[in-house]
Structure 1
Amino acid sequence: MSTPAPQVRETIPALERQSKKRLSWSSYPSWFFAPAIILYVVFFALPTFSSFYFSLTRWSLFESTFIGFGNFVQFFKNPQLYTAFVHTFIYAVITSGAKVILGFLIALLLTSPIIGRSYLRAVVFFPVLLSTIGVGILFKSLLDPFHGIVNALLGIFGLPQPGWFTNPDLALYSIAGVDIWKGVGIATLIFMAGIVAIPTEYFEAARIDGATSGQLLRSITIPLARNASATVIILSLIGGLRSFDIIWATTGGGPGFTSDVLASVIYKQYQAGFFGLSTAGNVVLFLVVTAIMVPLSYFLNRRQVEL
């Protein structure tokens, strides 16, 4: 086989360098990300920054008047605000904690060799596909204290028939239960992906060394599913802090203000025509969620790196 001439040997590297340079300066990668960037700017960045401005104004559909921090001062004078904050954190902790625990346990079951595993996976994930408003209306009918099927069945067996959404002591927790039923499927799916991604060689080696099922769970499954756990915690906690639609569809924040959360208080101000005030409330909610999730995300990601 003949070797290239000296001129050819010098030309080939030069052509390769020019080709790499053209490729590196190609506009293709920028245009590839352009649709996502446009959607992000139009539907998130622009409304977010606009809300910061409008929170400092008294505005209507056609005009706005700059009033500084007046909306925020008035917002924090709301007598229901403290209760709404407490309810928001209680609701977020209950729903996110239950989704993490139940999602992980169900994922363990659905990744084990059981009969009808594919069918059970579909059943668990099905509520995720339903409209949140539709789920709220459905459970409002099912849990009706006088005509609901649930209380009718409890009455047959002689059990108490509580007012799930009408009892001030039960309303918030009943809504949380509906939210858990609706959202545990996505937590289960994320955990299943994390568990399935664990190499089977780890389990096989541990079984050869005589490890029990409990030891496999504690030493392999839980540590190596930490990425999935962090994802579920972050997503479910954000959803709990921002939750509104299922609360509004079931109780509207009632009875009284016993199931009001921060988002429902903001919506009531919007209903009353205080648009600037409700915008200020949305900014407060955004800052609260950010203040909680940024350090939590940093902590969970740091733990993953250390692992």
Structure 2
Amino acid sequence: MNKVMKRTYSYAFLLPAAVIYLIIFILPTIMSFFFSLTRWTLFDWEFIGFDNFVTFFQEASLSIGFKNTFIYAVVTCLLKVVIGLLLGVLLTSKIRTRGYLRSVVFFPTLVSTIAVGIAFSMMMHPTLGLINKALEAIGIPAVDWLGNPDLALFSVALTDVWKGVGFATVIYIAGIMSIPEQYYEALQIDGGNAFQKFRHIIVPLSRSATNTVIIFAFIGGLRSFDLIWSMTRGGPGYATDVIASIIYKQYQAGFYGLATAGNVILFVFVALLAFPLNYFLTRKEVDL
């Protein structure tokens, strides 16, 4: 069998995956770019050029949506990195219940996002919620978690962290467990303590895990919609409106072409932030 036939034979195994990728991702992406230039319904369409993009950028709450999207992504990303790293260190230590605790930490990741949003909306109710009842029991005044414009976005972000930190923890556990034992033995010989172990071994040598968590968490935060919509629907006012919720409101109003243009803008916005971030993070990764 010559080289050409061998290469063709190898590529043949990739063909089914390539066809599926083409149908599920490439074609819908191309169609989205096209229909963003039209005024369309389920049965008809009319080409209108860049009018949808001009109209979308004139949306009154768009500047707030961009700001909220960025804040939400940064807050959830930072908290998932910090908490996930600390939990990863804890759950790779020699505590007896680490197997059970790993299951407990990862469990929220498996729960439906909408179910989590509804549950936490009830728990954060200003008068009947479980959280405020617990605060009042220890003498702390009740807080309007989702009704206060200054707190609503951060309340949803904390819920997102609770749900997603288990995934970050699993990545950190894998990263920490891949560190060779020789590093720990050398530190022990030199008389290093637990803090020095964390600072000089775990943090730098789990950089790949950190980069992975940052990329996934940041992109997830930029694209977040379902949790925010199920908890606040973008309110109060525009306090928790993000780009995705603004797009959904356009769909609800029947402006499908306008909403499609919003999706294209969100795609470009995420790409412009995610690709440079990924390049910046991965160029200095530590190879073990």
1:158 matched residue in structure 2: 139
1:79 lines up with 2:60 in the alignment: yes
TM-score by length of 2: 0.96
Displacement after TM superposition at 1:163 (Å):
1.1
What does the per-residue CA deviation read over 1:25-81, in whole Å, with 9 as the maximum and x for residues that have no partner?
452x32322232222212211111111111111111111111111000000001100
Q: Secondary structure at the match of 1:303?
A: coil
Give 2:238's aligned amino acid: F
Tell me which residue corresponds to 1:102.
83
Aligned pair partner of 1:31 in 4, 8, 12: 12
Q: Which amino acid aligns with 1:182?
A: K
What residue number does 2:245 align with?
Answer: 264
1:242-293 CA-partner distances (Å, limit 9, x unpaired): 0000000001001111110010001001100000000000000000000001
Give yes or no for contact 2:205–2:286 (8 Å, CA) kept in 1.
no
CA distance in 1, matches of 2:8, 2:50: 47
Which has the higher Rg, Structure 1 or Structure 2? 1
Number of the residue aligned with 2:153: 172
1:218 is aligned to 2:165: no
- Aligned counterparts of 1:74 and 1:128: Cα–Cα separation in 2: 37
Is it true that 1:245 corresponds to 2:226 in the alignment? yes
Query: 1:305 and 1:122, CA in 2 relative to 1: closer, same or farther beyond 3 A?
Result: closer
The root-mean-square deviation of aligned C-alpha atoms, in Å, is 1.6
1:301 maps to 2:282: yes
Q: For 1:93 and 1:75, how far apart are their aligned partners in 2?
A: 24
Partner of 2:257: 276
Equivalent runs, 1:44-123 vs 2, <5 Å: 44-123=25-104
Aligned-pair distance for 1:22? 8.1
- Map of 1:15 onto structure 2: none
Contact 2:208 2:286 in 1 (8 A): no
Contact kept, 8 Å, 2:224 with 2:244, in 1: the verdict is yes
Q: Which amino acid aligns with 1:120?
A: L
d(CA) in 2 for partners of 1:231 and 1:54? 33
The AA in structure 1 aligned to 2:46 is T
Q: What is the identity, as a one-letter code, of the residue corresponding to 2:202? A: T
Identify if the C-alpha distance between structure 1 residues 26 and 41 changes in structure 2 by more than 3 Å, giving closer, same or farther: closer
Report deviation, 1:224.
Answer: 1.1
Question: 2 CA distance for matches of 1:218 and 1:44?
Answer: 42
Shift of residue 296, structure 1, vs aligned partner:
0.8
Structure 1 residue runs without a partner (length 5+): 1-17
Q: Could you say which residue in structure 1 is the equivalent of 2:173?
A: 192
Instruction: Tell me which amino acid in the other structure corresponds to 1:142.
Output: M
Residue type matched to 2:57 in 1?
F
Q: 1:305 to 1:49 in 2, by over 3 A?
A: farther
Q: Contact between 2:37 and 2:47, CA under 8 Å: does it hold in 1?
A: yes
State TM-score, norm by structure 1.
0.90
Give the SS at the match of 2:39: strand
Q: How many residues align structurally? A: 288
Q: Distance in 1 between matches of 2:173 and 2:63?
A: 38
| Alignment correspondent of 1:236 | 217
| Alpha-carbon separation, structure 2, partners of 1:53 and 1:105 | 46
